[in-house]
């Protein structure tokens, strides 16, 4: 159970990191934002 919880937590945090990187790329690409 611990391993499953760790895996879920890790994939959720990876998803947030990916979204944050995508937003950062959009902001860098479009200076008006």
pLDDT value of position 1: 62
pLDDT value of position 33: 53
Where helices occur in 1-33 by DSSP H, the ranges are 2-29
pLDDT by 10-residue block (mean), the chain, 33 residues = 84 87 82 64
pLDDT value of position 8: 87
pLDDT value of position 2: 76
Question: What does the angle CA 10 – CA 29 – CA 21 come to, to the nearest 5 degrees?
Answer: 5
On whether the pTM is more than 0.75, the answer is no
Give the phi and the psi of residue 29 in degrees, each rounded to 5: -70, -35
pLDDT value of position 20: 85
Question: What does the angle CA 8 – CA 21 – CA 23 come to, to the nearest 5 degrees?
Answer: 115
Domain spans, the chain: 1-32
């Amino acid at each position: 159970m611990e391993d499953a919880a760790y895996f879920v937590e890790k994939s959720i945090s990876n998803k947030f990191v990916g979204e944050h990187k995508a937003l950062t790329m959009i902001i860098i690409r479009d200076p008006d934002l």
